[in-house]
Amino acid sequence: MVGRDFLMKRYKTANRIFLASAILFVIAVGVHCFCENPLAGLFYFLAQSCLIGCFADWFAVEALFRNRLHLPLFKPLIPANREAVLRRLQETVEGKLVGKETFTDLLKNFSLIQFIEKEAESSVKDIETDLARSGGELLLGFMEDHKKDLSCWIRQGVNNAKGSLAAYLRKKALEGNYAEQLLDKLLEEAQRAVKSNQMKQMITNKLEKLGENRERGFLERLVYSFAKFTNTVDYEDMAEAFLAALSERIELWRVDIHPFHKTLLKEWNAAVEAFLKTEEAEKALAHFAEELYQSVSVEEKTDALYNSLYEKWAAGDQFEKRFVPKLRTMLHNALRSVAENKELRAGIDESARALGGNILEEEYPHISSVTADILKKFKDSDLNEFIEAKVHKELEGIRINGAVVGLVAGFALYGLIEYLYLPIISLLFSL
């Protein structure tokens, strides 16, 4: 905390008045000692009253936050009410500032396609490569299972080949545990992505923008200011905690016995099935089948076709060097076409938001508990600093008023004593 220097800056005017009243009092004492007349007495009385007023209100303000005089049996505001203040603060932070509505607002306008285009571009190639590799394994399986049919299909024309290929892929993509294998690859990639600094910065910026733009009442603004001042709502820490928790949960989601794994698998199966039925996916498969067809010479379009294709595309390092990149290009073009289709784009974004809602419902209790741990670490000085920072102008006004009230009260008391009390006493003693 900035501490004493900050306090001096806050109460600059009040401190100057306090210092001036002390200097005037010293001067008044000197004048009163060496010059006994009514004006000197009035000057002394006013200086004394002003100093008393300044000191009294300085002490009153200080006593709210600090016990600098070390008075026994006295507790300042925060130590005396620490538990209540922290409890109220925690309720407000969790319920209002980082409540579900904050994350719901984050999801409300979330676009998965836009996010991929702007924020996760560097990860897209890795994801596409993983999917292409998995797709390549499927295609090799397809060709091996249909060795006898390949040459017949090719001789009949590429249209038959691409139709059979598309049907096979649709069937295999949702068959057995292959869909789960693909989902696991995606979750693994997602887990890597959420650990990146790029993702943390993106979430931090989104949360901070939402947090600062929300409309709040006076109390919420006060608590929000405190939360940001003391780093309770440190959006970078919040994003880091959120992503760390999400990473841990993703690890659990990859376990097939976890309840949420079934929800994800259901959503994934629906997404894969919908994608493979799109016109864009059909065109991409047709284009790939055409490339396979063109890569084989007429003489090779025989019963030995499988061996020829295997040698060209999958033998040795050809699978990684040639087959996977070709498939990745096909997949990229298909996904790009999907992204440019407004209806499909809207449907994908809607599904992503629904899935985000499921994740939020599942994981919010783990996220919100982070604030409680942060709050417990606060020192009394942190809380004091915050409250004093928010009301220091009003407190300085009280201290300045103390000097004014001291002067007025001193002047009134002097008049009362000089022109009412002393004459009455003199009259009584003269009787």
362 falls in which pLDDT band (50, 70, 90)?
low
Q: Residues 6 or more apart from 369 whose CB is under 8 A from it? A: none
Q: Which amino acid type is present at position 240?
A: E
Domain ranges of the chain: 4-74+380-430, 101-375
Query: Tell me, what's the pLDDT at 145?
Result: 75
CA distance 44 to 48: 6
C-beta separation of 51 from 23 below 8 A: no
Query: Scanning the structure block, which residue is given the tokens 């992204």?
Result: 339
DSSP states along 361-374: HHHHHHHHHHHHHH
Most confident stretch, 37-41, 49-53, 278-282: 49-53
Q: Which amino acid type is present at position 357?
A: G
Query: Tell me, what's the pLDDT at 109?
Result: 73
Tens-place pLDDT, residues 5-48 = 444 456 788 888 889 999 999 998 888 788 777 788 888 888 88
354: its two tokens: 């629904």
Q: What percentage of the chain carries pLDDT values higher than 90? A: 1
SS3 content of the chain, % helix, strand, coil (to 5): 85, 0, 15
pTM for the model: 0.41
